[in-house]
Amino acid sequence: MPAGARPRAPALGALAGGRRHLQDLPAPGRGRVGAPGGEVPAHGVHRRQTAGRRGGVRGEGGRCGGEPVGRGLLQGADRPVNFAKLHGAGNDFLLFDGRDEPALADELPPRVPGLCHRRFGLGADGALLVLPTGPASARVAYWNGDGSEAAFCANGTRCAARFIAARWGWREMVLATGYASIAAAVRGEQVTLLLPAAGEVRPWQEFALGDAAARGRYLVVGVPHLIVRVSWPDFWRRDLAPLAPALRRHPDLPAGGANVSFLQVEGERNLGVRSWERGVEGETLSCGSGDVAAAAVAVAEGWVEPPVEVRTASERVLTVEPQGPPLASPLRLSGPAEWVAEGTVRPELLTGRPS
């Protein structure tokens, strides 16, 4: 390779043995009906059924499973619990202030699936609880919509910073997450995070899927991500369900799988990114850490120049700027965290008692 040249991703060509790369396939047509698991798309890749997966209702920001909230939150108290709902580029969350109810830290987690349910609850991709730990510092706990706890959610952390700014008056803060302590700054609706360098960066890898394959790169930005570059004329309309679930739980990934983000280059500093998230088990309108991972990979490969503007499925734009070599330096993420609503959760919802 000539001096100063940037490495390029492997070409998206045909695989040995006659496999085709899914990135290059046209939109699937209708396939045969009656095969196990239902209809099989014409290209031969079908959606996997995941054992033990909860059913859910698809909503505007994604899909959240779970049952209606059961008894026991706050030990059956009759008082309502305050909440706020915010979204980061369409990725929506319920926010709770741990100062209001000390019992929330222990009793909120099992109620998250019901609270996030888009028919029986308030509807969200996840929930966060914030607790102050010192001057301008707080702990942020995050649960996916299915109730599973995650070490980090970038859009959720941006929403937590906006929530804290409104409730506690802080404009700059350090937020302790299960991933790392994250510096955050709030300027109106705009929230900026400074994230540590990506970890566990793997080489490009081919992921076999029946008679086809996808080429992706695995890395960790708070949580695991698989980045797949595509060139789809119908990028924003393409149904991800025939492809994304199999990649999200692919056996060649580490235990627990990964979020899957599909990126498409749209300009010298512009990407389009769509993400299929763990814990939601569906597409969300944005995955902040997935957008960061996609931008870092794209800059490292020379596909775009920083700072990178990432267009999300919500049409909101997030800005990602590596602070040095993109896969070995801190990463700055900026974008809107928008207030949707605030109010109280009725005791009937919290305890399961009929109104």
Q: Which residues are catalytic?
A: 153, 287
Place of tokens 């959606």: 47
Rama region for 328: left / alpha / beta (φ>0; ψ in -120 to 50; rest) = alpha
Residue 81 near residue 101, CB atoms below 8 Å: yes
Cα separations (Å) of 215 from 226, 257, 283, 294? Answer: 10, 16, 20, 14
Place of tokens 């000390």: 102
Phi, psi of 116 (to 5 degrees): -85, -10
Amino acid sitting at position 50: T
Q: What 8-state DSSP symbol labels residue 79?
A: S
Distance (Å, whole) CA 117 – CA 114: 5
Distance (Å, whole) CA 331 – CA 196: 6
**Cβ-based neighbours of 135, under 8 Å, separated by 6 or more:** none
Tell how far CA 89 is from the center of its chain: 11
Distance (Å, whole) CA 53 – CA 146: 10
For the chain, count helices (H), then strands (E).
Answer: 6, 21
Residue 103 near residue 74, CB atoms below 8 Å: yes
**Cβ-based neighbours of 7, under 8 Å, separated by 6 or more:** 1, 300, 301, 302
Cα separations (Å) of 76 from 80, 104, 342, 349? Answer: 11, 12, 22, 11
